Each structure stands twice: as C-alpha cells, then as structure tokens.
Amino acid sequence: MKILFATSEAHPLIKTGGLADVSGSLPSAYTKLKNHVKLVLPAYGDIWEKVTVVRELTDFMVGGCNRDVHVRVFKAKAEGLQTPVWLVDVPDLFNRPGNPYLSPEGDDWWDNGERYAVFSKAVVEIAMNRVGLDWQPDVVHTNDWQTGLVPALLTLEPKRPQTLFTIHNMAYAGLFPKSLFESLQLPWHWWTPEGIEFYGNMSMLKAGILMSDWVNTVSPTYAKEICFPEYAYGMEGVLQQRQDEGRLVGILNGIDQDVWNPKKDHYIRRHYDSEKGRVAAKKENKKDLLRFWDLPEEVIESPTPVVGFVGRLVPQKGIDLVLEVIHDVLEQTDARFVFVGSGSANYEYALSELAHQYPNRVMVYIGYSEALAHKVEAGADMFLMPSRFEPCGLNQMYSLAYGTLPIVHHTGGLADTVVNATEENIKEGTATGFMFYDPSSHALKSTLLHALFLYTKTRTWQKIQKTGMSVDFGWKKSAKQYLDLFKKTDKKNKE
C-alpha cells in the first residue's frame, strides 16, 4: 500500500511529546511490512539543520486566510529516519524556531489556525496527486487536530484515498473562532453542531473525528474511555456515533526498539538486557544519572532507591498529586527523586523549590533533554506516571523495557501495558509494575510506599523487572492492526 503519513511533529526532527515518537517510528514499521510511505510535515525553522535536503519537488498555491499562500515541497532525508520526508515549506507560517505550537513567551502562536489549515490543504493537494509528484497514496494517515482538516477536505473529493484519523489526545481540540472558518472559505454547510462547529467555535479535532473513514486512538482502554464525558471534553456524542458505526478503534502504540533499547541506547553509560549484567549496569547507570547534578560522591554512591519522572508538566500527568505526597514520602523513606520536565510555570516553580528544600534527595531539571530522559529510564529504579488520563503513554513502556518499574494510575494505555504487582500476579510471574485505581494523592502515596517496600525484597523485585523487560512492545503487531484496517476499507470500497 502507499501511505501518506501526515503529522505536525516527528522524532528526530521536531518533538514536544509522544506524537513525535510515534510519527518517527510507525512509518518505518509500515515500510518494514512492505508498504510505501511518505512522511509529510511542516518545515519548521529548526528542522533544516537536522535534514539533508535532496531537492525541491514542487510548488503550488493553497487558500489561507483570505489570501493565497505559496507552498513549496522539499524532499529530505534524516539520520535515524528510514522514511522519506516531504517538508511543506511556507516560511511565513512555519520558519520559526523552537516549539512548533508556541511562541517564545509560551503562548499558542496567534496564527495556529491558518498554519495548520494551510498545512492540511497542502496535504490534500499531495494526497490527490494534483501537484505533479506522480504519487497517489491509497491511504492518508492523519494525526491529532493539526491534521484534522485533511480527512474533512478529502470528503469533498470524488475519487480520493482512504483516510484514518488518529487521536493522540482529546485534551487538544484545535478550537478557532468562526472568523477563521469564514476566512478559510470552508464549506458553509459544515458550520452546524452536526458538523465541525463546536459550541460557537470550529474544532479541527472534531473535523478529523467526524469525517475520516476510520478513527482510532492509541490504546484500547482510551478508545472506550473517550466515549464517556469524563474523558471526551464534550465530544462524547460524536465519538459514540463513530463507535456505533464500528469506525472507532483502539490500537496500542509501539516503541522504537532502535532508540529505546538498553542493549544499544547511545545515551546511557552501560548497556544491558534482561539476562546479562542488568543489576550491575543499572547501578552504574544510576550513578551516571546522578552525576548530572554534581552531587557529593557519597550521595552518588548511595544504594538508596531513585524514583524518576520525565514528562510534560501539565495537569494530565498528575504532577500535582506527586507534589502533594512527596514531603511525606521523603520523611518516611530514604527514597530520592529525579524530575525532568517542562510545562506550566507553577509546576516548574514548585519542583525547583523542592530541589532547594531537599538537596541531595530531590534532583530537578527544568527543560527538555533527550539525553536525560534516556538516563532516567536506565538509571532510576522506579518510574512515576500518575497521569489522570493517558491516551497511551510511552514512558511506562520505555521503563518496562529498561527494568525500571513503573508506578501508574489505572487509565488509558497505562492500564493496557502495566500488570499490577499484586501478590497473585507476582506468584504467577505476570507482574510488571505498580498500579493505583483512584487518581488521588492517598492512592498514589500508598502505592509509592508499597513499591519502595517491595524494592527491599531484592529477589521479588528482580523477578518483576525481568518480566517487564521480556514484554515485546515493538511496533510490528500494532502496525499490522493499522494495515488490517486499511485493507478492510479497501475491500468495502471494491464491493
């Protein structure tokens, strides 16, 4: 099959979170299964230095906000990406440094609506093979609100490729005022509650959900959760509708085993696997992680457990719960904590304060560091992921692969990937981590204390580590599930 994979971020070119990890690895998994894939994304300012531009492929015009916008498409290659990249270049909209969605002040770019509408329109032109590229995809795989207009606009085309819209997070609805809808000259009949209007605004997320052939989200549990108001932010109706049509499915994300693999991770000090040298290597990696903070040598050498956290500092990730319980846990145990993250200023401040209050016990890095993220996975003993909701979550799978026991809330992909260390599961040899069922500070605290207690039972701990490390979270199985969906649609269309 020919698959056009449209995304707003892809590792290693540009990344704010898990969407980039998925976009950097699922297309390669499609390729390995003998499909032809092109990865299309906006040419942001920081991308140019990460790619080798092969050549300019084409240029054309699409409609922006009451104006025509000149689009150029470049073919590029990047180290670590097996898939050919097509960069959609509109300097005026995308050639800005840093975070793709936010200005340096941390606010959404004022013109995000036009930026991603133009990107989506460019993807549609490519998908329809109208811009001289001589390549007609069978499927367009779109991701999150930034590409939500692609499946919608393709419904207006008589002979078009199939579309799939993947929801990575319902919390980002891609909402814009009616004035944007008008200036983009979208079809007026879409402006209804049954269309892409959403309580007085337009929603690009809703456009993708409503008008694609298939909708999926990134874990089976989240696919069920989002049909309820608690997780759907007002879109439960349209999601239930797609579910009733049999068009909403959950496919668990995979992980890139070339990048997140303790056997060959080039960011970590000592390589290891579930069989060989795991215990000694993790000890070395723990010291290497702690050395980042320039701690006294006796602190670095200390055998006390290290609990890690890496993630966006937003309410989704349950960081407020951690802040509520950490004082008690520090008082009652000898645990140490390492936090790597950036996001809301209040959480960044609270974590920095903690580091001051508990020197040598709480280590904090505010910012984005790919290297530290890998070092935490390899060097920590446990990984905290108390997310209130988690469409899939990749870090808990990385943790499992690295023998770093995850402590998670029972939700979304966390529920689908971690097996709770109950006595029964430990006995049966299926336990891989720790799970709590109520997103409260009380539940988190008791689970964390339980995990720290179990850490002292070395044999049991090592057994759990080993079980987690032997689970295969690679992309093969999930990529096949995506391809099966595409084949189903193809068959239906031929009937």
- Residue 232 DSSP SS3: helix
Range 2-61, binding ligand GLC (CB under 6 A): 17-19, 22
- Measured distance CA(302)–CA(360) in Å, rounded: 11
Task: Compute the Cα dihedral for 329, 332, 337, 342 and give only its sign.
Answer: positive
Within 8 A by CB and 6+ apart from 398, the residues are 255, 260, 377
Torsion of CA 28, 32, 33, 36, to 10 degrees: 60
Give the nearest distance from C-beta 369 to ligand ADP in angstroms.
5
**65 phi, psi to nearest 5 deg:** -80, 105
Of 50-58, 272-280, 369-377, 391-399, which part binds ligand GLC (CB under 6 A)?
391-399
Minimum separation from the CB atom of position 318 to ligand ADP (A) = 12
DSSP state of 335: -
Give the pair of three-digit tokens for residue 381.
């003993």
Q: List the structure tokens of 492.
A: 């239906």
DSSP label of 14: B
Q: Which is nearer to ligand GLC, 39 or 218 (CB)?
A: 218
Backbone angles phi, psi at 94, to 5 degrees: -115, -20
Which of ligand ADP, ligand GLC, none binds 395 (CB below 5-8 Å, type-dependent)?
Answer: ligand ADP
- Residue number with CB closer to ligand ADP (312 or 463): 312
Site for ligand GLC in 450-469 (CB under 6 A): none
Counting contacts by CB under 6 A, is residue 84 touching ligand GLC? no
Cβ proximity to ligand GLC: between 253 and 285 the closer is 253
List the one residue from 203, 216, 253, 441 that touches ligand GLC (CB under 6 A): 253
Radius of gyration of the chain measured on its C-alpha atoms: 23
What track of x and - describes contact with ligand GLC for positions 342 through 381 (by CB under 6 A)?
A: ----------------------------------------
- Would you say 89 or 416 has its CB closer to ligand ADP? 416
Q: Residue of minimal CB distance from ligand ADP?
A: 18
**Closer residue to ligand ADP in complex, CB, 115/317:** 317
Spacing of C-alpha 342 from chain mean position: 15
* Shortest CB 310 distance to ligand GLC, Å: 13
163 binds, among ligand GLC, ligand ADP, none (CB under 5 to 8 A by kind): none
In the list ligand ADP, ligand GLC, none, the entry touching 218 (Cβ below 5 to 8 angstroms by class) is ligand GLC
Beta bridge partners of 470: none
Which listed residue (121, 168, 270, 286) binds ligand GLC by CB under 6 A?
168
Instruction: Report the half-sphere exposure of 477 (CA within 13 A, side-chain side).
Output: 10
The single-letter code of the amino acid at 55 is R
Q: Are 337 and 350 a contacting pair, CB within 8 Å?
A: no
Residues paired with 475 in a beta bridge? none
Closest by CA position to 305, among listed 395, 392, 381: 381
- Confirm if 423 and 431 have CB atoms less than 8 A apart: no
Among ligand ADP, ligand GLC, none, the one that 341 touches (CB under a kind-dependent 5 to 8 A) is ligand ADP
Name residue 157's amino acid. Answer: E
With CB under 5 to 8 Å by kind, the binding choice for 369 among ligand GLC, ligand ADP, none is: ligand ADP
By beta-carbon proximity to ligand ADP, the closer residue of 90 and 392 is 392
**386 binding partner (options ligand ADP, ligand GLC, none; Cβ < 5 to 8 Å by kind):** none
The β-bridge partners of 209 are none
Q: Choose between 160 and 317: whose C-beta lies nearer to ligand ADP.
A: 317
The nearest distance, CB 15 to ligand ADP, in angstroms, is 7
Residue 168 and residue 163: Cα distance in Å, rounded?
Answer: 16
Q: How far is the CB of 242 from ligand ADP (least distance, A)?
A: 22
Residues near ligand GLC (CB under 6 A) are: 17-19, 22, 168-169, 218, 253, 390-394, 413
